[in-house]
Amino acid sequence: MDRKSVHSLVHKTVRLHGRLTTAMGSRNAGDEVVVETPAKPIYQSLTGLKETMKGLLGRKATCVNEIGWAMQGSSCQDETDQFYRFMEELKEGPFRCNSEQMLAYSYLLVPGLFCNSYPTYFKEILAYFQNVLGVQCEFAQINTEGSVKDNAIAVRDIVLAQYEQFGKQVVLLGHSKGGTDAAAMCAMFWGELKDKVRGLVMLQAVYGGTPLAEDLLGGGQFGALNSLFLGKVASFSNPDGTVDAFKDLTYKNRHAFLEEYPLPRDVPTLCFHSNFPPDSKTRFKKYVMKENFLNGMLEVPLEMQLGRQLSVTSKYVLSKYPGEESDGLITRKDAEVPGSVVVKYREDLAHTLVIPEKAPPDQSTDVGPDHLDARHVCQACVLLLLATR
């Protein structure tokens, strides 16, 4: 974008087509509207993100010796082969692999950062569990841009209420920071919850930390400025969001948390993680998003190729930490919990497991592997957890 275009964008307005989340004048909540709004705030957000990444690329790697620290001296039980056997059987129908055993438990889906920006986030899986498998399944309504400790307390309250309602042990499925929050709940309250929680499935979840958070929020002026910027990003997506949601994923804060609240070894845990090469063809797949404008009054649908953004962060991780595979946000090594069952997903998969693609891609086009069925991935992970723990 040249200087003339930038000047034009900053001083003009943009037309937003969206849906009102609350009444505005003679319009009711839910009405489709077209609103003109100054382009400057949108431009500032985009340029702020661009400058942050530009500054990050120019810095030295800060955590070479931290990646995978939580697994040092420990091991996991690799059940990837059995996971793929379950996946093959589930292609024949949802009640293969002794799936009836899932009826003995209820399920809680714990979302990660910025889930409010994805209208389909976990929704496909929630509907599948409820309507096809016929199990009791709930979506945890938490402040996903809040701190890990605050969310651990919130998830604990939901688990207690769900156990009281259904009278069944709860299986937690947490994606991204949702897995971190759910694991924190188990670590902080296991004595109270061990007879109420059957197990924990961590899907592309942070356990040891992430180099992106550490590099962005490291010491000095760069870290301080990014702290302010990420705080604004968190509050843009969620009025109650704070920068603590990001800080809690740094290696420094994960060290401190796990020293105070180590995850008990008797918590039945399964970790699912993936790799997303920067040149993966799957980066062209499209996803439906939404964003709120006008102080949350206007919800605007968007369509993005999220893989393109995550290919940049994946390339960053590889450039700063050679050989470290990641899904664009979390390295494989930092997604593993000592003593857990592990599934090492073999196909290219960005940090988008529970966000459905807009539509199954036409395999004649250059977009990579077949359509991912996250419903079967989550079911296979649950079945594997129940079979091994």
Write the DSSP string, 241-286.
--THHHHTTSHHHHHHHHHHSPPPTTS-EEEEEEE--TT-GGGG--
Tell me the pLDDT of the chain (389 aa) as tens digits: 444 443 444 446 555 555 665 666 677 777 776 656 554 444 444 444 455 555 555 666 778 899 999 999 999 999 999 999 999 999 999 988 888 899 999 999 999 987 877 778 899 999 999 999 999 999 999 998 899 999 999 999 999 999 999 999 999 999 999 999 999 999 999 999 999 999 999 999 999 999 988 887 776 544 444 444 454 454 555 566 677 888 999 999 999 999 999 999 999 999 999 999 999 988 777 776 655 555 555 555 666 677 787 888 898 899 889 999 999 999 999 999 999 999 999 999 999 999 887 654 454 444 445 568 999 999 999 999 999 99
Letter for the amino acid at 160? L
Tokens describing residue 129:
């569990």
**Sheet harboring 269-275: ordered strands across?**
77-78, 341-348, 269-275, 197-203, 170-175, 106-110, 137-139
- β-bridge partners, 197: 170
What is the domain count for the chain? Answer: 1
CA atoms of 172 and 178, how far apart (whole Å): 10
The domain in which residue 350 lies consists of: 3-388
What is the per-residue pLDDT for 190? 98
Phi/psi region, residue 323 (left: phi>0; alpha: psi -120 to 50; beta: rest), is left
- Strands 197-203 and 269-275, how do they pair? parallel
Residue that the structure tokens 């079945």 belong to: 383
The CATH number covering residue 306 comes to 3.40.50.1820
Nearest to 334 by CA among 206, 218, 214: 206
pLDDT confidence of residue 308: 81
Instruction: Identify the pLDDT of residue 37.
Output: 54
The pLDDT value recorded for residue 293 is 53
Q: Which of these, 244, 69, 71, lies nearest to 148 by C-alpha position?
A: 244
Q: What is the pLDDT of residue 283?
A: 78
Matching residue, tokens 């059957």: 198
User: Would you state the structure tokens that stand for residue 363, as one six-digit string?
Assistant: 């395999």
Q: Could you count the other beta carbons within 10 Å of the beta carbon of residue 222? A: 17
Residue 69's alpha-carbon distances to 25, 174, 298, in angstroms, are: 55, 21, 43
Residue type, 289: M
**371 contacts 285 by C-beta, under 8 angstroms:** no
Q: In the numeric block, which tokens belong to residue 261?
A: 């609240």
User: Tell me, what's the pLDDT at 236?
Assistant: 53
Question: Looking at residue 233, what is its pLDDT?
Answer: 52
* Measured torsion, CA atoms of residues 379, 382, 388, 389, in degrees rounded to the nearest 10: -170
Q: Angle between the 40-57 and 306-320 helix axes, to the nearest 10 degrees?
A: 20
Q: 10 Å Cβ neighbour count for 156?
A: 20
CA distance linking residue 186 with residue 195, whole number of Å: 12
Task: Tell me how far apart the alpha carbons of residues 93 and 22 are, in angstroms, rounded to a whole number.
Answer: 42
| pTM summary value | 0.83
Token pair belonging to 214:
């550490």
Sign of CA dihedral 29, 34, 35, 38: positive
